[in-house]
A and B are shown apart, each in its own frame.
Chain A
């Protein structure tokens, strides 16, 4: 039971961390609970599916299936987040948007918070699939189901509790110092996800590393530490990045930003022309 508890606890914390950040960054925006909950539900379903087909996925593509699935999901999320940010630019908003304006737009249905749902979904699916896989195997192995279930539930509750504490802590940061969800946060998260995708593709030999450990800050800030994990989620921090990760990060950031500015400019010009 302890083994189950520990594994579930740790995986849940990773997902809870992302959810806490997403919720903290979107505070005050009406309706964001629905979008995040939607992401959680979809993530759980996705996790179940992945765990169910774990053997098949792993064996496919000459044993590269898992990494390719991860890369695929991550890149799809990057595209959706990019589209979300560019869509918002085409509605005339600057990167640092007033929370109240965003809230009003969500309520009137003009601005769905799909970004929140996508980020949440990816996080829950990735961590959840590991949890489901592990619990499934233990159940199949015949360990007393009750003790396993108890361990899993306690681990889940403990992980959620940590997430709640983290969320409360994030709420103490004044909003003006915190990224707004509809701008830089999504941009940096998307860039981080792209770097992760690049890493998975490098893992299976589809992309070259272009140098490993281009910097080594693992003694300064380990990726295993809570702050390291938070920075990993927020800005894609990696202690020992490979060149391909940095490349994907920078390119993604530049491309999305450029498209956002370009589309935003075109929208403003069109609006000005109409007004004239």
Chain B
């Protein structure tokens, strides 16, 4: 019984200690206004983890989605979400608003 408690405590302790890793740079903000992304193009450095803050100013929910980045998350109306991307190789990565597919943007990695 005591061994079980100790094992559980050790497991919980390990999980709690897992760092919610901070990205190396300050977060980059992307706003959603009228279902479109502003800015529509952001530039981030290569080979580092980057934190995106997607802030939705609209009355309608949006979905930040990208096949290139492998990300898919609903941003509620007047809400915001935090998304980690990377470390990425140099190139252009397209993202779009799944709820309004005309709206797209690019993450340019240099």
| Shortest distance between the CB of B38 and any CB in chain A (Å) | 20
A-contacting residues, B44-86, CB 8 Å? 49, 51, 59-61, 63, 67-68, 70-71, 73-77, 79-84, 86
Find chain A residues with CB under 8 A from B83 CB. 203
Name the residue in A62, A137, A199, A212 with the highest tally of chain B Cβ atoms < 10 Å from its Cβ. Answer: A212
A134–B73 contact, CB under 8 A?
no
Find chain B residues with CB under 8 A from A58 CB. 74-76, 79, 81
Partner of A199, one of B70, B82, B99, B101: B70
Q: Specify the main secondary structure of chain B where it touches its partner.
A: loop
Please report the C-alpha to C-alpha distance between residue A223 and residue B67 in the assembled complex, in whole angstroms.
7
A242–B67 contact, CB under 8 A?
no
Q: Does B39 contact A (CB under 8 A)?
A: no
B60–A137 contact, CB under 8 A?
yes
Q: Specify the main secondary structure of chain A where it touches its partner.
A: helix
Find chain A residues with CB under 8 A from B88 CB. 212-213
B67–A203 contact, CB under 8 A?
no
Q: Does B33 contact A (CB under 8 A)?
A: no
Find chain A residues with CB under 8 A from B82 CB. 62-64, 204
B70–A141 contact, CB under 8 A?
no
Partner of B74, one of A3, A6, A54, A63: A54
With A10-B98, A203-B71, A238-B70 already in contact, the answer to whether A133 and B61 are too (CB < 8 A) is yes
Please report the C-alpha to C-alpha distance between residue A59 and residue B60 in the assembled complex, in whole angstroms.
17
| Shortest distance between the CB of A228 and any CB in chain B (Å) | 9
A67–B98 contact, CB under 8 A?
no
| Shortest distance between the CB of A197 and any CB in chain B (Å) | 12
| Shortest distance between the CB of B6 and any CB in chain A (Å) | 25
Give A124-138 as 1s and 0s: 1 = Cβ < 8 Å from B's Cβ atoms: 000001100110011
With A66-B74, A240-B70 already in contact, the answer to whether A202 and B84 are too (CB < 8 A) is yes
Interface residues on A, range: 35 or more
With A137-B59, A137-B60 already in contact, the answer to whether A205 and B21 are too (CB < 8 A) is yes
Q: Does B100 contact A (CB under 8 A)?
A: yes
A141–B60 contact, CB under 8 A?
yes
Q: Does A206 contact B (CB under 8 A)?
A: yes
Find chain B residues with CB under 8 A from A114 CB. none
B68–A218 contact, CB under 8 A?
yes
Please report the C-alpha to C-alpha distance between residue A10 and residue B98 in the assembled complex, in whole angstroms.
9
With A10-B98, A134-B61, A141-B60 already in contact, the answer to whether A203 and B84 are too (CB < 8 A) is yes
With A205-B21, A212-B89 already in contact, the answer to whether A137 and B77 are too (CB < 8 A) is yes
Partner of B99, one of A7, A203, A241: A7
B20–A205 contact, CB under 8 A?
yes
Q: Name the CB-closest residue of B to A204.
A: B84
| Shortest distance between the CB of B96 and any CB in chain A (Å) | 10
Q: Does B18 contact A (CB under 8 A)?
A: yes
A55–B79 contact, CB under 8 A?
yes
B74–A133 contact, CB under 8 A?
yes
B-contacting residues, A171-230, CB 8 Å? 199, 202-206, 208-209, 211-213, 218, 222-224
Q: Which 10 A-B pairs have the closest CB atoms?
A: A63-B82, A223-B67, A205-B84, A141-B59, A205-B21, A137-B61, A205-B20, A137-B60, A54-B76, A133-B61
A-B contact pairs, 18 of them (CB 8 A): A54-B74, A58-B75, A59-B79, A62-B20, A62-B82, A64-B82, A130-B74, A134-B99, A137-B76, A140-B59, A199-B70, A203-B73, A203-B84, A205-B20, A208-B21, A212-B87, A213-B89, A239-B68
